[in-house]
Chains A and B, each alone.
Chain A
Amino acid sequence: MKYLFIDSATTNLVVAIIKDGKIAYMYNNNDGHDTSSKMMPVLAEAFERVGLKPQDIDKIFVVNGPGSFTGIRVGLTVAKTMAYALNIPIVPVSALEVMASGGAGSALINARRGYVFAGSYDDNLNVLYPDSYVLMNDKLNKPYISYDSFDFETVKPNIDILKVIKKHVEDQPINPHFLKPNYLKMTEAEENLKNHDREN
């Protein structure tokens, strides 16, 4: 089986092609905010390096959040369009779970003003604290795993894509038309409208 893995929700763009249970190619780099121009050349190079065509892929695993709203949409749009066009199954995975795949702990993405996107996982990627948009708190167990800088100690993610895929390989695929981002946060406009409605 040949799988494509895409994660552009964090500051690290990850693209991997998995062939018969092994990583045939992986790109994992801190590209900052240049994901939209980097993504396709990286994908094209990945296919070229392993000598495959997009049509050879059997299944796509894509991170659908949480993280950078734009970053999530870039990767998800590519993955959805591919899955739709090639008529292959697509499975969403959590950005935080991917971050925690190198070892147990709480994966954190800085969401500003004291808030984090956070989720705690054990060594087998079982959920200990479900992915949430929360104020930093004591229920999130150490170590803290993050690409971002905080005023407390964190370790950089050391991601294990094969572990993530193994965990989700039996997941029921989602119709790409209905696969949505998992932002874990409403837009400010929606929040304001909701608060306004509540006050009136």
Chain B
Amino acid sequence: MYILAIESSCDETSVSIIKDGLEEISTVILSQIDTHKDYGGVVPEIASRMHVENITIVIDEALKKANMEMKDIDAIAVTYGPGLIGSLLVGLMAAKTLAFIYNKPLIPVHHIAGHIYANNLVKRVEFPLIALVVSGGHTELIYMKEDYSFEKLGGTLDDAVGEAYDKVARVIGIPYPGGPMVDKLAHEGSDVYNLPLPLDDDSYNFSFSGLKSAVINLAHNEKQRGNEINSANMACSFQNRVVKILVKKTMKALNDYDVKNLIVAGGVAANKGLREALTKECEKNGVNLIIPKMKYCTDNAAMIGAAGYYAYKRGDIAGLDLNAKAVLPLK
């Protein structure tokens, strides 16, 4: 079964063709990151405007790259949430139009389900599993008993982890998107700043706004005293707290649910500090750790096509009145 998948929930316009939820036939990703850099973050209206200009070009390139035509496609999968509503709508309307013209099933896919199923394109995922989804927009712990069954254990109560990274980056003078640079600097610095371990409780929830504020206040106070903060040391101190709490709650979930498979997904899965810490802990506890290739960590339509196959098998078919949802629980 060939699925044409469309993803446009944030600032990437992407289209993929995926065979049987496992094999990537072609993927095209058009990133807007260079435009949004000028504004210090993703501007929703600009993102929407760029999606509508690029959408048919990206569809066309994905088909050409696969050497396929629309008549070879069996179903259309699309991210319908969560995400930026204006951005989501462009991909959704294009998907609905293709489903209508060619009379193909329309498969609605949750963005986070996509991030988890990205792993399927490398190696068929094994169940039960715990998924840690960490990105600029999400921080969630999810338990999956079997294919396409999702139980959200916890998530962030405020900022997503990637968002906190970008904000801390700005405080220590790194332009947007600063997350990857903070990770790099953290490896050059020492943990000398006294920062709190955020929401260190028995829940599976996260909170990063307090930690972010602590960084901002500390930097501000040092400046008042005429001291420069050391960027590398601050990056290291911040990252150590973030990684510590992510690892602690993830390991707790693996233990509580007696699960031996851990999937890490989303853009922050690329974080070296997080990878190292999780690798160490998983080895110690006999947990099978799966982290997708870098190209599948950030937003892409390949993961939507992979998830879409299992959504379809579960019977998720949408009508032409399918709407986009900025907020959407994973079920």
Chain A residues near B (Cβ < 8 Å): 36-41, 43-44, 54-55, 69-70, 73-74, 76-78, 80-82, 84-86, 176-177, 180-181, 183, 187-190, 193
Contacts and interface: CB of A to CB of B under 8 A. Distances in A.
A181 to B, nearest CB: 6
Interface string B54-81: 0111011000000000100000000000
Interface of B: 38-39, 43, 45-46, 48-49, 51-53, 55-57, 59-60, 70, 85-86, 89-90, 92-94, 96-98, 100-102, 319-324
Contacts of A82: 97, 101
Given A41-B320, A44-B320, A177-B60, A85 B89 contact: no
Name the prevailing secondary structure of the A interface residues.
helix
A77 B55 contact: yes
A86 B101 CA distance: 9
A40 B323 CA distance: 11
B89 A74 contact: yes
Chain B contact residues, majority secondary structure:
helix
Residue of B60, B320, B324 most packed against chain A (CB within 10 A): B320
- 8 smallest beta-carbon distances between A and B, as pairs: A40-B320, A77-B93, A81-B97, A84-B56, A189-B43, A187-B45, A37-B323, A37-B321
Contacts, number: 99
Contacts of A176: 56
B303 to A, nearest CB: 22
A189 to B, nearest CB: 4
Tell which of B86, B89, B97 has the most Cβ of chain A within 10 Å: B97
Contact of A40 (B45, B49, B85, B96): B96
Contacts of B320: 40-41, 43-44
Given A86-B101, A189-B39, A80 B56 contact: yes
A64 to B, nearest CB: 10
Contact of A81 (B39, B56, B89, B323): B56
Contact of B97 (A55, A78, A177): A78
Given A38-B321, A74-B93, A189-B39, A69 B45 contact: yes
A77 B321 contact: no
Tell which of A36, A41, A176 has the most Cβ of chain B within 10 Å: A36
Contacts of A81: 55-56, 59, 93-94, 97-98
B43 A41 contact: no
Residue from B86, B101, B324 having most chain A Cβ neighbours under 10 A? B101
A80 B93 CA distance: 10
Given A40-B97, A189-B39, A189-B43, A77 B322 contact: no
Contact of B93 (A41, A69, A78): A78
A76 B45 contact: no
Contacts of B90: 73, 77
B94 A73 contact: no
Contacts of A37: 321-323
A187 B92 contact: no
A70 B48 contact: yes
Contacts of A84: 56, 59-60
21 contacts: A36-B324, A39-B93, A40-B100, A41-B319, A41-B321, A43-B100, A55-B101, A69-B86, A70-B85, A78-B96, A80-B52, A81-B55, A81-B56, A82-B101, A85-B70, A85-B98, A183-B49, A187-B45, A187-B49, A188-B45, A193-B39
